[in-house]
Structure 1
Amino acid sequence: MPTRQALNFAQERGLDLVEVAPGSRPPVCRLMDYGKFRYEATRREREARRAQRSKTTNELREVRLEGRIGDHDLETKIRQVKRLLGEGSKVRVSVRFRGREITHPEIGMALLRRVAESLVEDAGMEKAPSFEGRFLAMILAPVSTGGKTSKQKDEQSQKTEKEKTRA
Protein backbone atom coordinates (compact mmCIF):
# COMPACT_ATOMS: atom_id res chain seq x y z
CA MET A 1 0.00 0.00 0.00
CA PRO A 2 1.25 3.53 -0.55
CA THR A 3 3.15 5.23 2.28
CA ARG A 4 0.60 8.01 2.81
CA GLN A 5 -2.25 5.48 3.09
CA ALA A 6 -0.23 3.31 5.54
CA LEU A 7 0.54 6.35 7.73
CA ASN A 8 -3.14 7.30 7.88
CA PHE A 9 -4.06 3.69 8.69
CA ALA A 10 -1.54 3.62 11.58
CA GLN A 11 -2.65 7.01 12.90
CA GLU A 12 -6.32 5.89 13.02
CA ARG A 13 -5.35 2.95 15.22
CA GLY A 14 -2.96 4.95 17.44
CA LEU A 15 0.11 2.97 16.31
CA ASP A 16 3.40 3.79 14.61
CA LEU A 17 4.49 2.77 11.12
CA VAL A 18 7.94 1.19 11.51
CA GLU A 19 10.12 0.22 8.55
CA VAL A 20 11.36 -3.32 9.27
CA ALA A 21 13.30 -4.22 6.11
CA PRO A 22 14.38 -1.10 4.21
CA GLY A 23 16.63 -3.02 1.78
CA SER A 24 13.86 -5.11 0.25
CA ARG A 25 11.74 -4.07 -2.74
CA PRO A 26 9.15 -2.88 -1.80
CA PRO A 27 10.30 -1.88 1.73
CA VAL A 28 8.54 -3.83 4.48
CA CYS A 29 6.81 -1.84 7.23
CA ARG A 30 4.95 -2.86 10.35
CA LEU A 31 2.25 -1.30 12.53
CA MET A 32 3.32 -1.32 16.19
CA ASP A 33 3.65 0.74 19.34
CA TYR A 34 7.26 1.84 18.88
CA GLY A 35 7.74 2.96 22.51
CA LYS A 36 6.67 -0.44 23.80
CA PHE A 37 8.90 -2.15 21.23
CA ARG A 38 11.99 -0.13 22.32
CA TYR A 39 11.22 -0.78 26.01
CA GLU A 40 11.03 -4.55 25.46
CA ALA A 41 14.21 -4.52 23.35
CA THR A 42 16.21 -2.71 26.04
CA ARG A 43 14.82 -5.04 28.70
CA ARG A 44 15.94 -8.08 26.66
CA GLU A 45 19.42 -6.54 26.23
CA ARG A 46 19.66 -5.85 29.98
CA GLU A 47 18.68 -9.45 30.80
CA ALA A 48 21.25 -10.77 28.32
CA ARG A 49 23.99 -8.61 29.88
CA ARG A 50 23.02 -9.77 33.37
CA ALA A 51 23.12 -13.41 32.29
CA GLN A 52 26.48 -12.88 30.59
CA ARG A 53 27.92 -11.20 33.68
CA SER A 54 26.81 -14.04 35.96
CA LYS A 55 28.53 -16.55 33.67
CA THR A 56 31.83 -14.69 33.70
CA THR A 57 31.95 -14.05 37.45
CA ASN A 58 32.16 -17.74 38.26
CA GLU A 59 35.73 -18.07 37.10
CA LEU A 60 38.16 -17.57 40.00
CA ARG A 61 37.36 -16.03 43.37
CA GLU A 62 39.80 -15.36 46.19
CA VAL A 63 39.63 -15.70 49.96
CA ARG A 64 42.54 -14.23 51.91
CA LEU A 65 43.71 -15.41 55.30
CA GLU A 66 46.43 -14.31 57.67
CA GLY A 67 48.72 -16.52 59.71
CA ARG A 68 47.37 -15.20 63.01
CA ILE A 69 43.70 -15.91 62.21
CA GLY A 70 41.46 -17.07 65.04
CA ASP A 71 39.58 -20.39 64.99
CA HIS A 72 36.13 -18.84 64.60
CA ASP A 73 37.33 -16.46 61.87
CA LEU A 74 38.86 -19.41 60.04
CA GLU A 75 35.56 -21.32 60.25
CA THR A 76 33.80 -18.28 58.79
CA LYS A 77 36.29 -18.13 55.90
CA ILE A 78 35.82 -21.87 55.29
CA ARG A 79 32.05 -21.37 55.09
CA GLN A 80 32.64 -18.54 52.61
CA VAL A 81 34.85 -20.80 50.47
CA LYS A 82 32.21 -23.54 50.64
CA ARG A 83 29.54 -21.08 49.42
CA LEU A 84 31.71 -19.90 46.52
CA LEU A 85 32.44 -23.51 45.54
CA GLY A 86 28.70 -24.24 45.69
CA GLU A 87 28.15 -21.44 43.15
CA GLY A 88 30.52 -23.26 40.80
CA SER A 89 33.50 -20.91 41.17
CA LYS A 90 37.08 -21.93 41.59
CA VAL A 91 38.55 -20.42 44.74
CA ARG A 92 42.10 -19.25 45.44
CA VAL A 93 42.78 -19.48 49.15
CA SER A 94 45.81 -17.40 50.07
CA VAL A 95 47.69 -16.64 53.27
CA ARG A 96 49.32 -13.22 53.46
CA PHE A 97 52.63 -12.89 55.28
CA ARG A 98 53.51 -9.47 56.70
CA GLY A 99 56.95 -8.41 57.80
CA ARG A 100 58.96 -11.21 59.38
CA GLU A 101 56.06 -13.67 59.28
CA ILE A 102 57.45 -14.89 55.96
CA THR A 103 60.25 -16.65 57.83
CA HIS A 104 57.64 -19.15 59.10
CA PRO A 105 55.93 -20.54 55.99
CA GLU A 106 55.01 -23.72 57.91
CA ILE A 107 52.28 -21.73 59.70
CA GLY A 108 50.69 -20.83 56.36
CA MET A 109 51.07 -24.40 55.07
CA ALA A 110 49.35 -25.77 58.18
CA LEU A 111 46.55 -23.25 57.73
CA LEU A 112 46.00 -24.16 54.07
CA ARG A 113 46.17 -27.87 54.89
CA ARG A 114 43.50 -27.35 57.55
CA VAL A 115 41.26 -25.53 55.05
CA ALA A 116 41.76 -28.24 52.41
CA GLU A 117 40.99 -31.04 54.90
CA SER A 118 37.77 -29.36 56.02
CA LEU A 119 36.64 -28.95 52.39
CA VAL A 120 37.66 -32.40 51.11
CA GLU A 121 34.01 -33.32 50.33
CA ASP A 122 33.24 -30.05 48.54
CA ALA A 123 36.46 -29.30 46.66
CA GLY A 124 39.46 -30.80 44.99
CA MET A 125 42.86 -29.17 45.03
CA GLU A 126 43.60 -27.91 41.55
CA LYS A 127 46.90 -26.28 42.48
CA ALA A 128 48.97 -27.23 45.52
CA PRO A 129 50.11 -24.47 47.90
CA SER A 130 52.94 -22.40 46.46
CA PHE A 131 54.45 -18.98 47.05
CA GLU A 132 53.36 -16.03 44.93
CA GLY A 133 55.34 -13.10 46.32
CA ARG A 134 54.35 -12.62 49.97
CA PHE A 135 51.35 -14.90 49.56
CA LEU A 136 51.12 -18.65 49.95
CA ALA A 137 48.21 -19.71 47.75
CA MET A 138 46.35 -22.80 46.59
CA ILE A 139 43.45 -23.15 44.17
CA LEU A 140 40.40 -25.26 44.97
CA ALA A 141 37.91 -26.37 42.34
CA PRO A 142 34.36 -27.55 43.05
CA VAL A 143 33.84 -31.30 43.06
CA SER A 144 32.25 -32.52 39.83
CA THR A 145 28.72 -33.91 39.77
CA GLY A 146 30.20 -37.40 39.98
CA GLY A 147 31.25 -36.53 43.51
CA LYS A 148 34.98 -37.13 43.07
CA THR A 149 37.87 -34.90 42.13
CA SER A 150 40.31 -35.91 39.44
CA LYS A 151 42.90 -36.79 42.09
CA GLN A 152 40.40 -39.04 43.87
CA LYS A 153 39.46 -40.64 40.53
CA ASP A 154 43.16 -41.32 39.80
CA GLU A 155 43.62 -42.93 43.23
CA GLN A 156 40.48 -45.02 42.71
CA SER A 157 41.64 -46.21 39.28
CA GLN A 158 45.07 -47.12 40.70
CA LYS A 159 43.41 -49.17 43.47
CA THR A 160 41.26 -51.06 40.97
CA GLU A 161 44.30 -51.76 38.75
CA LYS A 162 46.22 -53.14 41.76
CA GLU A 163 43.28 -55.37 42.65
CA LYS A 164 43.08 -56.67 39.08
CA THR A 165 46.81 -57.55 39.05
CA ARG A 166 46.46 -59.44 42.36
CA ALA A 167 43.58 -61.56 41.07
Structure 2
Amino acid sequence: MPGLDQIDLTRKDWHAYDDSYGTDQEKHFIKYMHDQEARLRGVYDDFYLLRNEKAVKLYDFDTGRAFEPDFVLFLRKKGQEASTILQLFIEPKGDQLRPQDDWKQDFLAQVKSQAKLETLFQGRNYSVYGLPFFNEGGQTNTDFKAAFEPFIESKT
Protein backbone atom coordinates (compact mmCIF):
# COMPACT_ATOMS: atom_id res chain seq x y z
CA MET A 1 0.00 0.00 0.00
CA PRO A 2 1.61 3.23 -1.07
CA GLY A 3 2.53 5.46 1.84
CA LEU A 4 1.50 3.03 4.55
CA ASP A 5 4.85 1.31 4.84
CA GLN A 6 6.76 4.61 4.90
CA ILE A 7 5.46 5.68 8.32
CA ASP A 8 8.06 4.95 11.01
CA LEU A 9 5.81 4.12 13.94
CA THR A 10 8.80 3.48 16.21
CA ARG A 11 9.14 7.28 16.41
CA LYS A 12 5.46 7.93 17.13
CA ASP A 13 4.82 8.25 20.86
CA TRP A 14 1.06 8.27 20.20
CA HIS A 15 1.00 4.74 18.76
CA ALA A 16 1.32 1.78 21.10
CA TYR A 17 3.09 -0.49 18.59
CA ASP A 18 6.18 -0.20 16.42
CA ASP A 19 4.30 -1.41 13.35
CA SER A 20 0.84 -1.27 11.83
CA TYR A 21 -0.80 -4.64 12.21
CA GLY A 22 -4.18 -5.62 10.88
CA THR A 23 -6.32 -5.32 7.79
CA ASP A 24 -5.78 -2.90 4.93
CA GLN A 25 -8.49 -0.63 6.38
CA GLU A 26 -6.75 -0.63 9.77
CA LYS A 27 -3.49 0.36 8.07
CA HIS A 28 -5.28 3.14 6.19
CA PHE A 29 -6.66 4.35 9.51
CA ILE A 30 -3.14 4.45 11.05
CA LYS A 31 -2.03 6.56 8.07
CA TYR A 32 -5.02 8.86 8.56
CA MET A 33 -4.05 9.31 12.24
CA HIS A 34 -0.46 9.99 11.19
CA ASP A 35 -1.72 12.68 8.81
CA GLN A 36 -3.78 14.28 11.64
CA GLU A 37 -0.94 14.29 14.20
CA ALA A 38 -0.16 18.02 14.01
CA ARG A 39 -3.81 18.97 14.36
CA LEU A 40 -4.25 16.65 17.34
CA ARG A 41 -1.17 18.11 19.05
CA GLY A 42 -2.70 21.56 18.63
CA VAL A 43 -5.79 20.59 20.65
CA TYR A 44 -4.57 17.92 23.09
CA ASP A 45 -1.71 17.65 25.58
CA ASP A 46 -1.66 13.91 25.01
CA PHE A 47 -3.20 11.48 22.59
CA TYR A 48 -2.67 7.75 22.36
CA LEU A 49 -4.01 5.23 19.88
CA LEU A 50 -4.42 1.71 21.22
CA ARG A 51 -4.99 -1.25 18.94
CA ASN A 52 -7.59 -3.10 20.96
CA GLU A 53 -6.29 -6.61 21.50
CA LYS A 54 -9.01 -7.88 23.83
CA ALA A 55 -8.40 -4.99 26.27
CA VAL A 56 -11.82 -3.35 25.81
CA LYS A 57 -15.09 -5.19 25.31
CA LEU A 58 -18.35 -3.30 24.91
CA TYR A 59 -21.86 -4.72 25.01
CA ASP A 60 -24.66 -3.69 22.68
CA PHE A 61 -27.32 -1.73 24.59
CA ASP A 62 -30.19 -3.56 22.87
CA THR A 63 -29.14 -7.21 22.79
CA GLY A 64 -25.99 -7.48 24.93
CA ARG A 65 -23.86 -8.74 22.01
CA ALA A 66 -20.15 -8.36 22.74
CA PHE A 67 -18.08 -6.07 20.53
CA GLU A 68 -14.37 -5.26 20.67
CA PRO A 69 -13.73 -2.10 18.62
CA ASP A 70 -10.42 -2.28 16.76
CA PHE A 71 -9.07 0.97 18.21
CA VAL A 72 -9.48 3.21 21.23
CA LEU A 73 -8.18 6.76 20.88
CA PHE A 74 -7.45 8.52 24.18
CA LEU A 75 -7.33 12.32 24.10
CA ARG A 76 -6.43 14.67 26.98
CA LYS A 77 -7.48 18.26 26.32
CA LYS A 78 -5.16 21.23 26.72
CA GLY A 79 -5.77 23.95 29.27
CA GLN A 80 -8.36 22.21 31.42
CA GLU A 81 -8.39 22.66 35.20
CA ALA A 82 -9.61 19.12 35.73
CA SER A 83 -8.12 16.49 33.51
CA THR A 84 -10.61 15.90 30.70
CA ILE A 85 -10.07 12.58 28.95
CA LEU A 86 -11.97 11.56 25.86
CA GLN A 87 -12.15 7.95 24.69
CA LEU A 88 -13.15 7.36 21.09
CA PHE A 89 -14.03 3.88 19.91
CA ILE A 90 -13.08 3.38 16.27
CA GLU A 91 -13.72 0.48 13.91
CA PRO A 92 -12.15 0.41 10.43
CA LYS A 93 -14.39 -1.78 8.30
CA GLY A 94 -14.06 -3.21 4.81
CA ASP A 95 -17.13 -3.06 2.56
CA GLN A 96 -17.35 -6.85 2.42
CA LEU A 97 -18.03 -6.97 6.19
CA ARG A 98 -20.60 -4.19 6.35
CA PRO A 99 -23.79 -6.25 5.95
CA GLN A 100 -23.14 -8.48 8.97
CA ASP A 101 -21.50 -5.74 11.07
CA ASP A 102 -23.80 -2.76 10.57
CA TRP A 103 -25.21 -3.42 14.06
CA LYS A 104 -21.78 -2.41 15.42
CA GLN A 105 -21.98 0.97 13.71
CA ASP A 106 -25.51 1.45 15.08
CA PHE A 107 -24.19 0.62 18.55
CA LEU A 108 -21.24 3.03 18.24
CA ALA A 109 -23.69 5.81 17.36
CA GLN A 110 -25.44 5.21 20.71
CA VAL A 111 -22.32 5.20 22.92
CA LYS A 112 -22.24 8.92 23.80
CA SER A 113 -25.90 9.13 24.77
CA GLN A 114 -26.38 5.77 26.48
CA ALA A 115 -23.07 4.83 28.10
CA LYS A 116 -22.97 4.99 31.88
CA LEU A 117 -19.62 6.18 33.26
CA GLU A 118 -18.30 5.66 36.74
CA THR A 119 -15.70 8.10 38.08
CA LEU A 120 -12.72 6.19 39.40
CA PHE A 121 -10.31 9.11 39.84
CA GLN A 122 -11.40 12.40 41.38
CA GLY A 123 -10.41 15.46 39.35
CA ARG A 124 -10.75 13.66 36.04
CA ASN A 125 -13.67 13.92 33.67
CA TYR A 126 -14.25 11.18 31.12
CA SER A 127 -16.36 11.18 27.99
CA VAL A 128 -16.81 8.26 25.61
CA TYR A 129 -17.74 8.40 21.95
CA GLY A 130 -18.32 5.90 19.18
CA LEU A 131 -17.55 7.01 15.64
CA PRO A 132 -18.94 5.76 12.32
CA PHE A 133 -16.92 3.05 10.61
CA PHE A 134 -13.66 4.15 9.00
CA ASN A 135 -13.24 3.00 5.41
CA GLU A 136 -10.68 4.54 3.07
CA GLY A 137 -13.20 5.10 0.30
CA GLY A 138 -16.74 6.19 -0.33
CA GLN A 139 -19.51 7.51 1.89
CA THR A 140 -18.34 5.59 4.94
CA ASN A 141 -15.15 7.63 5.11
CA THR A 142 -17.03 10.88 4.57
CA ASP A 143 -19.23 10.01 7.57
CA PHE A 144 -16.20 9.12 9.70
CA LYS A 145 -14.32 12.32 8.86
CA ALA A 146 -17.40 14.46 9.54
CA ALA A 147 -17.78 12.84 12.98
CA PHE A 148 -14.03 13.08 13.78
CA GLU A 149 -13.55 16.68 12.64
CA PRO A 150 -15.01 18.32 15.79
CA PHE A 151 -12.38 16.49 17.86
CA ILE A 152 -9.50 17.97 15.86
CA GLU A 153 -10.73 21.48 15.23
CA SER A 154 -8.50 24.04 16.90
CA LYS A 155 -10.52 25.94 19.50
CA THR A 156 -8.37 29.08 19.30
Q: Which interval holds the TM-score relative to the shorter structure?
A: under 0.3
User: What is the TM-score of this pair, normalised by structure 2?
Assistant: 0.28
Q: Between Structure 1 and Structure 2, which shows a larger proportion of helix residues?
A: 1
Higher relative contact order (CA closer than 8 Å, sequence separation 6+): 2
Determine which structure has more spread, i.e. the larger CA radius of gyration: 1
